[in-house]
Structure 1
Amino acid sequence: MNTLPSQRNAERGAFSSFEACRNSQKGPVVILASGASARQFPLRDFAHLPVIAMNGSVALTAACAVKPFFYVCTDKSFRDQQPELFATALRDSQRLALWPEQFVGADIPADTECYPLHKADTPGLIDGLRGHGSNHVCSRALWSKRARSIAFSKDLASGYYDARTVAYVALQLAYHLGFEQVLMVGVDLDQSLGRFYEDDEGEHSPCGLDQHWDTRILPSLTLMAEQVVNEHFRVYNLSAVSRIPPEIIPKIGLPEARRMAV
């Protein structure tokens, strides 16, 4: 089921509503990141599934003639660092989730649905006690605002929580939309392996995976695994070289992924 409510973006600034698309989907979705392992993924075999692409992973969707169901970019400098890839994302994607200022002056087809991103407020003390609210789950921390900011948004109309990797935003988007099985591709989260679309001669975007791994990325993924994943929302990692421990997000191979994708 790949159809969202019709919300034509006839004029720049006429944004689509995250509220309207909440729980509008079901079944499996591919989250396509930019880790080196994405090179080995046979995207054409999964082209019948919705794909949430991000940052430079549109290099692979374009090569495989796949139109991303959603494209997510939270790096405001990405357009300047990788202008060709950003233009490809705007041209090819059915739906865009960007900061409002990223839409300004952008060449976007008139029928593309544009969803403005914003960060969610840090959960308060009561939510720190309970560990959840109506629209999110968070770390159970009383007096540490920083610890409570480790959270997962179930409703992107209320904003997303930042884990210093756009893949975590894509996971929150997948939950918001109602997808039930998430197949993560290229989510290596290993700075030493680099991005599949970058080479020695081209432009390289900054990377802070090592800097934020222990403080933001791993705690956020652990929270999701413990408090969000259930029989209605399961997440699987197709990267054999991923830094994410399999006890947090289980690793599967292509045969199992293909069975889910039927």
Structure 2
Amino acid sequence: MRTLFKQIYRYTHARSFRHNENLWPYVKINRATSGEIVELRYKQQQIPIVQLSDMKGNFSGDILLTATGPSVKNLCLEKFPSMPAMGVNGAYFLRDRVDFKFYIIVDMGFIDQKPEILSNIIDDPQLILFTTVYGVVKIVEKFGLKRVKCQLAVIEDAAFKIYQPKITNDKLWSMYSNNNNVFFAADRKDIAFTYDIRSGIFDAGTVVYWALQILTFLGFKQLYIIGLDMNNFHQPRFYETTENKLPTNLEVKVSHLVMPSFHHASQIMKAKKIAVKNLSVTSAISNEIFDKVDSNELFK
């Protein structure tokens, strides 16, 4: 039946809507006037979701953003001051050492290949998990809605919104340049950063870029980032071994997309008076982008 629905969808929708073909007709949504999804149903099940508008600017102070580079192994997290944390992908292995309040997963391959990690994440009632509609669907399919104890917050790629046409890189500027909360890089019309994630989040090849936009929207003013190495891609992430390491294509995106995007993000966040400290002293990201600080010196 799913194959039949997919064929019907392809015959009745333009190619620019193709990214929705696995959702129709199972997913029903309603949007607020501000653009975000406020109601979500999947196969006639009402999915409880956190309202993004309720979280806008509702937080402040410090937060720890935990990426997954190998350098995390070298940190003495016990010396860090108490603060909430946002994790990405496999960072949940640190749950006994940091205070996860937020989580973000937008890589559907991670959900498919690491269900044991995802299982622990959705079991945590203290978490708000930011994920896409595709992520919600995969979670419900794998575990069942009753199993989900965390709160779900639905986010979208600004170029691939649900039941709206795909926006190609050459059209991003024309679609979003008039949005007062969206800021494009001075020399790139395909790199943008938003203060308001309700109208979509801009991708830059790494989930950390999504996280920066979410944390800005939430209102945090001091970000400490661990595991943001952006080098040694042949090495396992801090929670992996050589035998179970997932592949990555991030290395091919670093020079032309990731670094320019982070440079842009740093300027936009500074304008918002948000300070960022990169606690990976061996990170390939320069001090011109995010100030690199030795956590042993910072948290004496």
More strand by share: 2
Deviation at 1:236, TM superposition (A): 0.9
Matching residue of 1:115 = 153
Shift of 1:113: 2.1
Cα offset for 1:100? Answer: 1.4
- Determine whether 1:57 maps to 2:94: no
1: CA distance, partners of 2:242 / 2:81: 30
1:149 maps onto 2:187 in alignment = no
Paired residue for 1:77, among 97, 109, 121? 109
Report SS of the residue matched to 1:157.
helix
Unaligned runs of 5+ in 1: 1-6, 142-146
Deviations 1:80-101 (A, max 9, x none): 2111111122223510001113
Instruction: Give 1:28 deviation, angstroms.
Output: 0.8
1:31 is displaced (CA, Å) by 0.3
Q: Distance in 2 between matches of 1:95 and 1:44?
A: 24
The aligned counterpart of 2:236 is 194
184, 189, 206: which one aligns with 2:247: 206
Instruction: Report the aligned-residue RMSD.
Output: 2.6
Query: Which of 246, 251, 256 matches 2:292?
Result: 251
> What does 1:1-262 align with in structure 2 at a 5 Å threshold?
13-46=47-80, 48-61=82-95, 63-64=96-97, 66-92=98-124, 94-104=127-137, 105=140, 106=143, 112-121=150-159, 123-125=172-174, 133-140=179-186, 147-190=188-231, 191-202=233-244, 204-230=245-271, 232-255=273-296, 257-258=298-299
CA distance in 2, matches of 1:12, 1:205: 33
Between 1 and 2, higher relative CO (CA 8 Å, sep ≥ 6) is seen in 1
CA distance in 1: counterparts of 2:292 and 2:61, whole angstroms: 19
Cα 1:42–1:78 change in 2 (3 A) is same
Q: How many residues align?
A: 240
Cα gap change, 1:162 to 1:34, in 2 (>3 Å)? same
Q: Assess, with a 3 A threshold, how the Cα gap between structure 1 residues 139 and 231 changes in structure 2: closer, same or farther.
A: closer
Residues 73 and 97 in structure 1, CA contact (< 8 A), matched pair in contact too: yes
Contact 1:235 1:250 in 2 (8 A): yes
- TM-score normalised per structure 2: 0.72
| Aligned equivalents of 2:110, 2:243: Cα separation in 1 | 18
Distance in 1, Cα, partners of 2:129 & 2:58: 16
Q: Distance in 1 between matches of 2:193 and 2:272?
A: 17
Q: Is the 8 A contact 1:136 1:151 kept in 2?
A: yes
* Conserved 8 A contact 1:50-1:69: yes
Q: Percent identity?
A: 26
Select the structure of larger CA radius of gyration: 2
Q: 1:126 to 1:115 in 2, by over 3 A?
A: closer
Matched residue type, 1:135: N
For structure 2, the 5+ residue unaligned runs are: 1-37, 160-170
1:217 aligned partner, one-letter code? V
| Residue type at the aligned position of 1:95 | I
For residue 35 of structure 1, report the CA deviation from its aligned partner. Answer: 0.3
Structure 2 Cα separation of the partners of residues 112 and 12 of structure 1: 16
